[in-house]
Amino acid sequence: QVQVVESGGGVVQPGRSLRLSCAASGFTFSTFAMHWVRQSPGKVLEWVAAVSYDGTYKYYADSVKGRFTFSRDNSENSLYLQMNSLRPEDTAVYYCARESGPYYNPGAFDIWGQGTMVTVSS
């Protein structure tokens, strides 16, 4: 079964850090770019970060650049989002998603996890 499963969400104080994980299974993980997308309560989808299939290239939304770091371990079929200096506006459900185009081919997000909730509050 092709799936991705997020974990690591929780409640954290402003300025603190949190690390999200995403475990992939059922497909050749090392051939697909992966993304994080977030959705604040009652709000729209916001693309957060991307990593190329081999980890060479990483892209970040301006809203998280310099604070979030996206990494992947192809030997473990896993992704990690290290979130530092968290702000209340980072409160959202964070989704891990697979980009359908293999390697460097652009594609839609065809596989999504169920999401993990991050709440930044004092």
Q: Which residues bind another protein (CB under 8 A)?
A: 35, 37, 44-47, 50, 59, 61-62, 95, 99-100, 106-110, 112-115
| Separation CA 34–CA 57 (nearest Å) | 11
Closest approach of another protein to the CB of residue 59, in Å: 6
- When the beta carbons of 17 and 65 are compared against another protein, the nearer one is 65
Question: CB-wise, 26 or 107, nearer to another protein?
Answer: 107
1 or 62: whose CB is closer to another protein?
62
Q: How far is the CB of 30 from another protein (least distance, A)?
A: 20
> What's the N-to-C CA distance of the chain in angstroms?
39
| CB contact at 8 A, 12 and 87 | no
Q: Is 89 helix (H, G, I), strand (E, B) or coil?
A: helix
Judged by beta carbon, residue 13 or residue 23, the one nearer another protein is 23
What is the residue whose two structure tokens read 């200096």? 85
The CB-of-15 to another protein minimum distance in angstroms stands at 25
Residue 70's beta-bridge partner residues? 81
SS3 64: coil
